[in-house]
Structure 1
């Protein structure tokens, strides 16, 4: 899909604040409301805009512990990976799951929980019980340095 400067400005504005009204967005990108709404609809229908969400402050919700976990699997078969991935989808503590290469692990997952007790329950009660999981290496977040939610668009200009 080709993007012009107005499309890119719409995407930049929505990445910063998806709660903008169509009128506010149109004013910021220099369009009238109808053409602005049409462009947003095209971006949504094409899948460029995946969804709009509200970002929550995990600390204010009592979710104080973030853990990055490297998972190793016993077999590298589609069935084994599908079972692992579908099981993880049912765990609300799992913020992200990525199949990775170039490491000794097969997956890198990010888990957010209240405290170490909850993490131990998650780890021993559920994660290590998934068939095929043979290795778990946990790293605990000390401090977030950078946490972007927006994607770079400069390469499209």
Structure 2
């Protein structure tokens, strides 16, 4: 992928889109102090370059809890028996396909992977552990930490103009 140059206006656009991707082109242009046609062209260029992966709605888990329950969020450390590139890629490919896995990171030092998983309850976590960890002969160690409270959730990239 070709790297594109970003100027201060591009960074302002990206920052504004992180805050509220539902803004109309007109509102986004006003916020960044550019014309609507320029805004549309620049945002298309940023999207085409892959700098904006997707637009999503962040749901309020506390308000949803009254309807669906809080569920169970776990931070899971995974250590593989064999850490070769092929084994790491195979494990990663399998876990990223599972909808309960919200985030997957290769990390160093320490464990090989850190996962953030969210399931409805402990039986569903146990099913996930069986499906992703126990059935894989290459998983040497699993250490799960269960969230008791989410103090902050900010899927935002800090951009310095």
State the TM-score, normalized to the length of structure 2.
0.87
Larger RCO (CA under 8 A, 6+ residues apart): 1
Between the aligned partners of 1:145 and 1:29, the Cα distance in structure 2 is: 31
Between the aligned partners of 1:32 and 1:125, the Cα distance in structure 2 is: 52
Alignment match, 1:54 = 57
Between the aligned partners of 2:87 and 2:155, the Cα distance in structure 1 is: 31
- Counting matched residue pairs gives 154
Alignment match, 1:35 = 38
Alignment match, 1:120 = 126
Between the aligned partners of 1:75 and 1:58, the Cα distance in structure 2 is: 37
Alignment match, 2:26 = 23
Alignment match, 1:66 = 73
Q: CA deviation at 1:89?
A: 2.2
Poorly superposed stretches of 4+, deviation over 4 Å? none
SS in 2 for 1:68: strand
Structure 2 residue 91 is the aligned partner of structure 1 residue 84: yes
Q: CA deviation at 1:151?
A: 0.9
State the TM-score, normalized to the length of structure 1.
0.89
CA RMSD of aligned residues (A): 1.7
SS in 2 for 1:84: helix
Alignment match, 1:11 = 14
Alignment match, 2:151 = 145
| 5+ long unaligned stretches in structure 2 | none
